């Protein structure tokens, strides 16, 4: 009998090398595909951008701002930013009381500029707002019908533009203060809820916001959240609910205490003690000389009460650059003789104790920036600011003019007064001590956006600031996909490892090892 032949066939292995290679290849391909999918899926889509336009019709000039934001994120905080500012040539709209139509025409160039900035197909969907401030408030007090004619002239011009006209109006001092406060806190990211840090309020100041100080030509505003103090006067009290948090805000707007009207107030006061119309003014540089019609001083409602029959028609003003005397002269325009509340700033206006940090913008910034007091990272101490203004005021006018040939004489000549006025207002008016001064930051721009009331105004009118915090997922979509891929890979790796350790296939015991 033939013995069964032992054939040369190899023993069958359960998982040959080839199968393992295929498995490895499939695994690697799947991993690569997963990562590639996650990356391509999360590539940012082309942005859908929205635009908005606000015109700030100030007492001295008009600025047009163009803002843009990604449409899908419009309720997030800090996403809207300024892409253009256009300064209208000529005076503010309140300066066109003699020819209101000209006020409308003056806006043409900046409207054209906005048309270039916003893509043509979006012109119709782009809202445009005009808000007029203290210059128009004063003109309305002086002559309501002229003020209305100026407003309808600018309204007609904006209606005829390709944009979506949403209104032209005189905003109140309270609104100006409130929207300035909203703007800077929005831009500084102070409304951002920090997620887990929300549960640790002690890490933030009580309100987590910054106060706002705005100085214009005809009015000035102070707005902040006081520290647990009741706001004793209703007209100074505002309540906001923003991104799920409540704010009790103090605000006051001093009409006539912008820097240009304040100078008029001071000069009108000085005139009372002048016999012959010549005035030695400590708030102007030595060697500076200016002649003014006394009637011009009294055209504003701010000075109208003091109008008197003067024996001269022209005022001859001569500077002598004496800072200390200038401060004393400015002090006279703040009436501190009465206060019906527990504490006041001046003119009997309630002011709670100053609290927290403050951002000071508009002319506060322009003047301090001119004096080179805004370039350092930390705030310049009050005594250094005082000595800088003092030194600047004492410089002869010829020397100053020669150093700054490109600055208009009218503006250059008034920086000494403006510097002294800012110090008087902040120190004597509001009570910023040397210590509290360190809490003031002079702000021109925050990121690409100018600090001012316009952005807050637009955010409010377009309902872009929700009262409640919008529901958000803990992770962004990209992080979510990335994390899911990572966890899946880890799971597969653990499974394979477990399989190898606890259920070692024979092939590994014999064939492969």
Ligand X SMILES: Nc1ccn([C@@H]2O[C@H](COP(=O)(O)OP(=O)(O)O)[C@@H](O)[C@H]2O)c(=O)n1
Nearer to ligand X, 215 or 464 (CB): 215
Q: Is 145 in a helix, a strand, or coil?
A: helix
Contact between 107 and ligand X (CB under 6 A)?
no
**Residues linked to residue 104 through DSSP beta bridges, in sequence order:** none
Q: Applying CB under 6 A, which of residues 173, 208, 217, 321 lies at the interface with ligand X?
A: 217
Tokens 């506060």 correspond to 364
Binding flag, residue 363, ligand X (CB under 6 A)? yes
Structure tokens at 472: 């958000």
State how far the Cα of 130 lies from the Cα of 171, in Å rounded to an integer.
9
The listed partner (Ca ion, ligand X, none) that binds 259, CB under 5 to 8 Å by sort, is ligand X
The least CB distance from residue 219 to ligand X, in Å, is 5
Determine if residue 221 is labeled as part of a ligand binding site.
Answer: yes
Tokens of 270: 């000085």
* 472 has binding-site annotation: no
Closest CA to 280 of 316, 314, 330: 316
Confirm whether residue 94 is marked as ligand binding. no
Instruction: Say whether 336 sits in a helix, a strand or coil.
Output: coil
| Minimum distance of Ca ion from residue 216's CB (angstroms) | 4
- In the complex, the smallest distance separating the C-beta of residue 178 from Ca ion, rounded to whole angstroms, is 14
- In terms of CB distance, is 50 or 259 closer to ligand X? 259
Catalytic residue among 176, 307, 399, 435: 176
Least distance in angstroms from the C-beta of 57 to ligand X: 8
- Cα 369 to chain centroid distance, Å, stands at 17
58 binds ligand X (CB under 6 A): yes
What residue 258 binds from ligand X, Ca ion, none (CB within 5 to 8 A, per partner kind)? ligand X
Q: Which does 260 bind (CB under 5 to 8 A by kind): ligand X, Ca ion, none?
A: ligand X
Q: Is 253 in the site for ligand X (CB under 6 A)?
A: no
Known binder of ligand: residue 220? yes
Taking the C-alpha atoms of residue 504 and residue 478, their distance in angstroms, rounded to an integer, is 38
Tell whether residue 259 is a contact of ligand X (CB under 6 A).
yes
Does residue 216 belong to the site contacting Ca ion (CB under 5 A)?
Answer: yes
Select from 213-221, 285-293, 327-335, 487-495 the region that touches ligand X (CB under 6 A): 213-221
208 binds ligand X (CB under 6 A): no
Q: Which stretch binds ligand X (CB under 6 A): 211-219, 286-294, 324-332, 499-507?
A: 211-219
DSSP state of 3: P
* Residues 45-64 within binding reach of Ca ion (CB under 5 A): 58
**In Å, what is the CA distance from 48 to each residue of 44, 52, 183?**
11, 14, 23
176 catalytic residue (yes or no): yes
End-to-end CA distance of the chain, in Å? Answer: 39
Q: Rule CB under 5 A: say whether 419 interacts with Ca ion.
A: no
Cα distance between residue 279 and residue 317, in whole Å: 5
State which of residues 294, 362, 374, 424 lies at the interface with ligand X (CB under 6 A).
362
Tell whether residue 217 is among the known ligand binding residues: yes
180 binds, among Ca ion, ligand X, none (CB under 5 to 8 A by kind): none
Give whichever of 218 and 360 is closer to ligand X, judged by the CB atom: 218
Q: Does 218 bind ligand X (CB under 6 A)?
A: yes
Burial of 510 (0-12, 13-18, 19+ CB in 10 A): exposed
One residue of 180, 211, 258, 321 binding ligand X per CB under 6 A: 258
Annotate each residue in 143-172 with x if it binds ligand X (CB under 6 A) or - if it does not, as one string.
------------------------------
Site membership for ligand X, residue 177 (CB under 6 A): no
State the minimum distance, in angstroms, from the CB of residue 368 to Ca ion: 16
Taking CB positions, which residue lies at the least distance from ligand X? 216
Separation of alpha carbons 127 and 132, rounded Å = 17
Structural contact between residues 510 and 115, judged by C-beta atoms closer than 8 angstroms: no
316's CB contacts (< 8 A; 6+ apart) are 277, 278, 279, 289, 290, 291
CA pair distance 353, 359, nearest whole angstrom: 17
The least CB distance from residue 239 to Ca ion, in Å, is: 24
CA distance 184 to 403: 34
Report the relative pairing of strands 440-442 and 358-362 from DSSP bridges: parallel
Nearest residue (CB) to Ca ion, 216 versus 282: 216
Using the rule CB under 6 A, is 219 a contact of ligand X? yes
| Of residues 166, 104, 103, the one with CA closest to residue 130 | 166
Tokens in use for 240? 């906001």
92 binds, among ligand X, Ca ion, none (CB under 5 to 8 A by kind): ligand X
In angstroms, the CA 468 to CA 245 distance is 7
SS3 content of the chain, % helix, strand, coil (to 5): 45, 20, 35
> How far apart, in Å, are the Cα atoms of 180 and each of 38, 252, 277, 415, 451?
42, 12, 40, 24, 7
Q: Is 133 in the site for ligand X (CB under 6 A)?
A: yes
Residue range at the interface with ligand X (CB under 6 A); choices 253-261, 349-357, 457-465, 470-478: 253-261
Residue identified by tokens 């605000």 is: 251
Q: Which of 298, 297, 281, 299 is nearest to 289 (CA)?
A: 281
Contact residues for Ca ion (CB under 5 A)? 58, 216
Known catalytic residues?
176
Feature table: binding site: 217-221
Contact residues for ligand X (CB under 6 A)? 58-61, 92, 133-135, 216-219, 258-260, 362-363, 366
Feature table: binding site for ATP: 217-221
């Amino acid at each position: 009998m033939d013995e069964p032949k032992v054939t040369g066939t190899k023993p069958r292995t359960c998982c040959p090398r080839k199968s393992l290679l295929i498995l490895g290849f499939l695994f690697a391909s799947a991993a690569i595909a997963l990562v590639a999918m996650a990356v391509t899926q999360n590539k940012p889509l082309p942005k859908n951008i929205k635009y908005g336009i606000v015109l700030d019709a100030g007492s001295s000039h008009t600025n047009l701002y163009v803002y843009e934001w990604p449409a899908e994120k419009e309720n997030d905080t800090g996403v809207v930013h300024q892409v253009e500012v256009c300064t209208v040539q000529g005076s503010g709209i309140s300066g066109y009381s003699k020819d209101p139509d000209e006020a409308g025409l003056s806006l043409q160039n900046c409207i054209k500029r906005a048309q270039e900035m916003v893509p043509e197909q979006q012109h119709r969907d782009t809202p445009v707002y005009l808000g007029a401030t203290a210059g128009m408030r004063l003109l309305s007090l002086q002559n309501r019908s002229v003020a209305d004619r100026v407003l309808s002239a600018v309204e007609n011009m904006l209606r005829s533009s390709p944009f979506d006209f949403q209104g032209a109006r005189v905003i109140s001092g309270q609104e100006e203060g409130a929207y300035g406060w909203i703007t800077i806190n929005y831009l500084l990211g102070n409304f951002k809820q920090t997620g887990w840090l929300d549960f640790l309020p002690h890490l933030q100041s009580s309100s987590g916001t910054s106060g706002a100080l705005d100085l214009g030509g005809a009015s000035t505003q102070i707005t902040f959240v006081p520290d647990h103090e009741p706001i004793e006067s209703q007209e100074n009290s505002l309540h906001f609910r923003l991104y799920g948090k409540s704010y009790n805000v103090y605000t006051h707007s001093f009409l006539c205490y912008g820097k240009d009207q304040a100078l008029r107030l001071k000069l009108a006061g000085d005139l009372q003690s002048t016999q012959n119309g010549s005035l030695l003014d400590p708030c102007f540089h030595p060697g500076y000389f200016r002649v003014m019609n006394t009637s011009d001083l009294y055209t504003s409602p701010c000075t109208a009460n003091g109008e008197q029959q003067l024996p001269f028609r022209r005022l001859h003003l001569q500077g002598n650059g004496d800072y200390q005397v200038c401060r004393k002269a400015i002090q006279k325009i703040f009436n501190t003789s009465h206060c019906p509340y527990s504490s006041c700033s001046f003119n009997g206006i309630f002011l709670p104790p100053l609290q927290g940090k403050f951002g000071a913008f508009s002319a506060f910034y322009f003047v301090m920036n001119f004096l080179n007091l805004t370039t350092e990272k930390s705030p310049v101490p009050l005594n250094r600011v005082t000595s800088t203004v003092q030194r600047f005021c004492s410089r002869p006018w010829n020397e100053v003019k020669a150093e700054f040939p490109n600055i208009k004489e009218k503006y250059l000549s008034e920086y000494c007064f403006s510097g002294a006025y800012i110090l008087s207002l902040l120190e004597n008016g509001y009570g910023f001590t040397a210590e509290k001064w360190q809490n003031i930051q002079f702000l021109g721009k925050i990121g690409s956006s100018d600090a001012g009331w316009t952005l807050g105004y637009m955010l409010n009118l377009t309902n872009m600031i929700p009262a409640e915090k919008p529901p958000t997922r803990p992770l962004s979509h990209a992080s979510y996909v990335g994390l899911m891929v990572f966890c899946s890979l880890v799971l597969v790796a653990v499974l394979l490892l477990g399989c190898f350790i606890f259920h070692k296939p024979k092939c590994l015991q014999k064939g492969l090892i």
